[in-house]
A and B are shown apart, each in its own frame.
Chain A
């Protein structure tokens, strides 16, 4: 795909809001890695890094590249106020105190224990569409499963789950060609509140109950339980961070395996390749293509000083194809053997939900392949959406068989 910006001779230009670039950002990323490893965009006033080592170094350096003004380009610019407990947008020691308490309940073991329920959920979604000649990876599975799983985890009643998802998506969506706008109400999420009240009176063995009962050392060093407000923020954070991203992973699964029938047949014939396939989908099309940081101190990147007060965009999607690290990085290959990608971030903010996302991805793919080993993407009706923080399919219709 060639767009004006790709014409050689011009200086490389990257604008995360331009739909024409968002459709296929990879040629631009490739040029950025080669020609402008420290990129600066004068229109929106941000820097960007695209090489694996640079992105890894920035994300690992939480002293100079801070999250306390959020990790989304637009929000950093707006100088938003981060509610206490929204630890994805906090720095140590606040971040450490809050992340540790959630980590205690949000464990790989608990995630693996959910596997059976996740499988049943996938089976229910997919059995409902067996026999059709066309299915949609988003409408029929990807749009439902992640919210359903968060619901299982938190013990949220089924009927409220769709409302949660819709609100979060509405909050994150950008109008085509425009930076996203903050919707504070959606982020604070009032409508979990009634549920938390109810849970306080009706404890069960879910994560919500555990959160309400856990004691932790708060940022001031006091050992106490979480407040209702803090629990509310956590729940919103988990729902917000875990829904759209995982849904997009499932959409990319439909797209990439639809377009690589030989590789799809290879996994369908040998389900032991499923884990590797999920990792390759995550590497090749990360649902969160970039995360931003506020530059707290002057810092040297690629031999150039990036001044304090700047915004740095870490383009994970570009780093994941860096030929310096991934042989033949632009090629989708489920047989690839390491090294690991950066789709779940790096450093102290590394995705807390990655064990869960991986279980969901693996189980979804297994259950799909058992029922639908063959499909072709209905390209004309597949709809892509992209913003500075997520990129993936709103619809991914495929012809089966």
Chain B
């Protein structure tokens, strides 16, 4: 279990307890956090779960996969700390993770 903080474009914070094995995308979608869609259900196929990972956490959220990399080139306003939320799997290590949401997903 990890506490994950989602910060919307407008600065609104949602803090959720997300179970190990779930993902940053899943946690948001299951709790109706606005700003993450997750159309493909986490198959790394839709790029509607784009998040910006707080720089302090970047080295703990794992590597960007090859398909994720292609999708990340195409999201709205990609940055160096862009990730797909469905590709970040929750573990105890991620307790306290902060992600910011993009202006729009599609």
List residues of A (336-364) whose CB comes within 8 Å of B's CBs: 337-340, 344-350, 354-355, 358
Instruction: Please state if B41 and A108 are interface contacts (CB–CB under 8 Å).
Output: no
A130 at the interface (CB under 8 A from B): no
Residues of chain A with a CB closer than 8 A to B29's CB: 339-340
List residues of B (10-44) whose CB comes within 8 Å of A's CBs: 29, 32, 34, 37-43
Given A348-B43, A350-B43, A350-B46 in contact, is the A104-B70 Cβ separation under 8 Å?
A: yes
How far in angstroms is the closest Cβ of chain B from A349? 8
Kindly supply a per-residue 1/0 record for chain A positions 102-128, scoring 1 wherever the CB is within 8 Å of any chain B CB and 0 otherwise. 011001110000000000000000000
Q: Which of B41, B47, B67, B76 contacts A96 (CB 8 A)?
A: B67
Cα–Cα, bound, A378→B34 (Å): 38
Residues of chain A with a CB closer than 8 A to B79's CB: none
Cα–Cα, bound, A60→B39 (Å): 12
B56 at the interface (CB under 8 A from A): no
The residue in B45, B70, B75, B106 that gathers the most chain A C-beta atoms within 10 A of its C-beta is B45
Where chain B touches its partner, the secondary structure class is loop
A227 at the interface (CB under 8 A from B): no
Residues of chain A with a CB closer than 8 A to B80's CB: none
A56 at the interface (CB under 8 A from B): yes
Given A347-B45, A350-B43, A355-B106 in contact, is the A108-B70 Cβ separation under 8 Å?
A: no
Instruction: Please state if A350 and B39 are interface contacts (CB–CB under 8 Å).
Output: yes
Residues of chain A with a CB closer than 8 A to B2's CB: none
Residue in A closest to B106 when the chains form the complex, CB atoms: A355
Q: Which 6 pairs from chain A and chain B are nearest by CB?
A: A350-B40, A107-B74, A346-B41, A347-B43, A350-B45, A348-B43
Residue in B closest to A96 when the chains form the complex, CB atoms: B67
Could you write out 8 A-B pairs with CB less than 8 Å apart?
Answer: A100-B70, A104-B70, A108-B74, A339-B32, A340-B37, A344-B46, A347-B41, A350-B41
B71 at the interface (CB under 8 A from A): yes
Residues of chain A with a CB closer than 8 A to B42's CB: 60
Residues of chain A with a CB closer than 8 A to B75's CB: 108
Residues of chain A with a CB closer than 8 A to B46's CB: 344, 350, 354
Instruction: Please state if B39 and A340 are interface contacts (CB–CB under 8 Å).
Output: yes
Residue in B closest to A103 when the chains form the complex, CB atoms: B70
Residues of chain B with a CB closer than 8 A to A339's CB: 29, 32
List residues of A (173-232) whose CB comes within 8 Å of B's CBs: none
Instruction: Please state if B32 and A108 are interface contacts (CB–CB under 8 Å).
Output: no
Known A59-B41, A109-B76, A354-B106; further 4 A-B contacts with Cβ < 8 A: A103-B70, A346-B41, A347-B43, A350-B45
How far in angstroms is the closest Cβ of chain B from A153? 15
Residues of chain B with a CB closer than 8 A to A103's CB: 67, 70-71
Instruction: Please state if B106 and A348 are interface contacts (CB–CB under 8 Å).
Output: no
Given A354-B46, A355-B106 in contact, is the A344-B39 Cβ separation under 8 Å?
A: yes
